[in-house]
């Protein structure tokens, strides 16, 4: 607890959130002023990202063969790149929809909103909401997380299984709400709705507008359009605003996406979350491989599905949408990290616990190492000299 870098990170986070909380109290975060977050937070985030980019360009990783890559190059090739992140999300969503159609599962679009005490201003006028209790977007997100934990537990008791995606996005005043694209058995849809409604109205359920606004359900009719297409605009809004003529709430889509990203960064809110088991880590590790040699037919089929971007085939071969993680055909492989010079086990920086890292994948007793090199970090200028 005496490490200055640990404290600096904590203090920077506290400073940013305290400043944004003050901006909210001053009425600077709403549809009339700064939508989703304050202008100061947007400016800070743009500067922060520019500094991060400069850092990535100035750092290189070098392996034992003296091959080197800048961190900026690698960042552009993975899901840190908004374009890649959006493409992967849409691929996985479309794959789930293909499975749902094949299994005749119900598709639901669900929206869950916080009680009025979390909303600081009215959308149309920008006036202060008298019911607001001073809660921040972070506290509102914690409320939604806690509510969803209760929902999940109840669904498990009722043996209601589902799969899909959850998107957390801000309303005009920065208060998060959730959109979910959910697939489940047809006969369980009504019970699922009842469970959501019960917990969504558990707190202040008798306040004006609660029954109309706290949760909303839309039944997706496959014959009228795709479920993935329905949620695509929400993905774009929360990634980069691409392919949108305007923000869902009005205004410039690109600027809105920047504000949403700044909001999520400030409050530490996870924007996208997969619902149900789907081994995306295995998916990504398989896509790192160029080829397989002398593997089982199942292993080869799963590799081919991942390599060709066929999420539906990948999930089915891994065990299906309702297969528990530990029962899936392939599991991520984690190993203890060793110092290449001394052979000693590496320990974490803060608590002296032995470090482990992702090394590859495992099918039964068969291990495939996807991360074959040992890398060290160097400064580009120092290396050039």
Question: 317 in helix, strand or coil?
Answer: helix
Residues pairing with 145 in the sheet? none
**Could you give the 3-state DSSP secondary structure of residue 189?**
helix
Catalytic residue among 36, 96, 199, 230: 230
Quick one: three-class SS letters along 191-208? Answer: HHHHHHHHHHCCCCCCCC
> Tokens 């694209």 — which residue?
181
Strands (E), 231-345: 272-275, 331-336
Q: Is 122 a catalytic residue?
A: no
Asked if 269 and 144 count as a contact pair (C-beta separation under 8 A), the reply is: no
Structure tokens at 124: 């149309």
CB 164 within 8 A of CB 276: yes
From 5, 234, 334, 349, the catalytic residue: 234
Closest alpha carbon to 319 in 310, 329, 309, 311: 329
User: Which of 243, 245, 111, 83 has the alpha carbon at shortest distance from 168?
Assistant: 111
Q: Is 244 helix (H, G, I), strand (E, B) or coil?
A: coil
Residue 138: count other Cβ atoms within 10 Å of its Cβ: 17
Tokens of 254: 């690109």
Q: Is 230 a catalytic residue?
A: yes
CA 277, 280, 286 angle in degrees (round to 5)? 130
Structure-token pair, residue 180 = 């979910």
Decide if 380 contacts 59 (C-beta within 8 A): yes
Question: In which region does residue 251 sit, left (phi positive, over 0), alpha (psi from -120 to 50) or beta (all else)?
Answer: left
Beta strands in 41-189 (DSSP E): 59-63, 68-70, 106-112, 162-170, 176-184
* Residues taking part in catalysis: 230, 234
């Amino acid at each position: 607890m005496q490490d200055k870098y640990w404290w600096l990170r904590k203090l920077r986070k506290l400073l940013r959130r305290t400043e944004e909380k003050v901006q909210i109290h001053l009425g600077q975060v709403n549809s009339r002023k700064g939508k989703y977050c304050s202008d100061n937070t947007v400016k800070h985030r743009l500067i922060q990202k520019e500094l991060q980019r400069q850092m990535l360009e100035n750092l290189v990783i070098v392996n034992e063969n003296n091959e080197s890559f800048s961190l900026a190059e690698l960042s552009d090739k993975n899901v840190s790149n908004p374009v890649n992140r959006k493409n992967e999300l849409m691929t996985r969503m479309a794959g789930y929809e293909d499975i749902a159609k094949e299994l005749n599962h119900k598709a639901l679009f669900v929206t869950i909103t916080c009680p009025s005490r979390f909303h600081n201003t009215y959308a149309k006028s920008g006036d202060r909401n008298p019911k607001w209790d001073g809660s921040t977007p972070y506290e509102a997100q914690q409320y939604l997380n806690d509510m969803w934990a209760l929902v999940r537990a109840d669904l498990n008791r009722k043996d209601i299984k589902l799969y899909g995606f959850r998107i957390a996005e801000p309303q005009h005043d920065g208060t998060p709400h959730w959109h979910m694209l959910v697939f489940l058995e047809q006969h369980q849809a009504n019970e699922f709705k009842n469970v959501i409604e019960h917990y969504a109205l558990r707190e202040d359920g008798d306040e004006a507008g609660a029954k109309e606004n706290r949760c909303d359900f839309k039944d997706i009719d496959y014959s009228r359009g795709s479920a993935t297409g329905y949620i695509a605009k929400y993905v774009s809004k929360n990634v980069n605003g691409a392919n949108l003529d305007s923000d869902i709430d009005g205004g410039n889509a690109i600027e809105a996406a920047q504000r949403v990203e700044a909001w999520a960064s400030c409050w530490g809110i996870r924007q996208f979350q997969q619902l149900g088991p789907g081994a995306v880590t295995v998916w990504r590790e398989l896509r790192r491989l160029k080829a397989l040699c002398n593997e089982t037919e199942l292993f080869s089929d799963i590799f081919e599905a991942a390599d060709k971007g066929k999420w539906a085939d990948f999930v089915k071969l891994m065990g299906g949408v309702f297969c528990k993680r530990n029962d899936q055909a392939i599991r991520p492989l984690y190993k203890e990290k060793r110092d290449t010079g001394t052979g000693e086990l590496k320990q974490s920086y803060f608590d002296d616990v032995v470090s482990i890292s992702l090394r590859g994948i495992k099918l039964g007793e068969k291990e495939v190492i996807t991360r074959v090199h040992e890398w060290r970090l160097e400064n580009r200028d120092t290396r050039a000299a």
